[in-house]
Amino acid sequence: MCYKQIMIFHHPSATIRFPELLDPGAAFASVTHLGIGAHPDDLEFMALHGILAGYHQEGCGFGGITCTNGGGSVREASLGDDALIARRHAEQEEAARIGRYRFIAQLGYRSAEANDPADPRLTDDLSRLFQRMHPRVVYTHNPADKHPTHIAVLARVIAALRGLPPDQRPRQVLGCEVWRGLDWMPDGDKVSLNVSGNPELAEQLATVFTSQTDGGKRYDRAVRGREAANATFGASHAGDGASAVWLAMDLTPLIMDDRMSIRELVEGHLSRFRHDVMAKLARWKI
């Protein structure tokens, strides 16, 4: 795996690698789909749609950014923090090799650092990475996720993207499921991502992260169950159009209108959800 220190990041343990042995400039230029996750393995679940596009579609390339070192996760009892961080780092690099990512940047922040609004370093690092590429689609965490670090990464992604000139921003920004599903959203608000294309690759990517599965968190099973449930329960009066679907919230309005807050966007979705539920109950006087 090719490694060049082409950028100076704020965090001393940050790395960027190019599994496809591309020149860094060519690698960045080839990224059409970009995933930005909080932890090692988030990309392989929530951004699988982009990974598959880069793997299979001519003219497409996937790049990945992992913001934290994953040191606080569940693990085997014998695995200390430093060993866990090193193992998760290696797992993320292996997933990038298997998935043919154009690059994988691991920025190495602790969760506490990512969660500190007064610490601008992670946002600055994301901004500098964004300035080197022009992806069409960005995948990150959704604002209804229950994990605080996922929300922190989302907020920093939006802030960094808003720092770009409007004509250099991506066409679409998607907030994806991880720690909470998005099946509650009204159908007209959901973005359904068909991830049926290569189940063998999806399984390979999920099973790389043995530091998690061996520690008792069977994410590899859980993501396959969620994908299948989304595919089947997406429409009540139609056959399954796909065998695996991941759901996302469209965050593009946040980079089209810098005045819109994340809370305002979410309040709109929650209001429409409430209206949908209450309207179906209204005709029953019980």
191 contacts 269 by C-beta, under 8 angstroms: no
Is residue 170's pLDDT more than 90?
yes
pLDDT for residue 3: 53
d(CA 64, CA 169): 17
- Is the pLDDT at 73 greater than 90? The verdict is no
DSSP letter for 166, please: G
Using an 8 Å Cβ cutoff, are 68 and 38 in contact? yes
Give residue 4's Cα distance to chain centre: 24
> Which pLDDT belongs to residue 20?
81
Quickly state the pLDDT bin for 7 (edges 50, 70, 90): confident
Cα(125)–Cα(35) distance, integer angstroms:
15
The residues near 132 (Cβ < 8 Å, ≥ 6 apart) are 28
Residue-wise pLDDT for 237-275, tens only, equals 677 789 999 999 999 999 999 999 999 999 999 999 999
Distance from the Cα of residue 181 to its chain's centroid: 13
Position 2 scores a pLDDT of 54
pLDDT digits (tens, 9 = 90+) for 24-70: 999 999 999 999 999 999 999 999 999 999 999 999 999 999 999 98
pLDDT, position 79: 67
Neighbours of 2 (CB within 10 A): 13
Using DSSP, state whether 252 is helix, strand or coil.
Answer: helix
Among the residue ranges 10-14, 95-99, 159-163, 169-173, the one predicted with the least confidence is 10-14
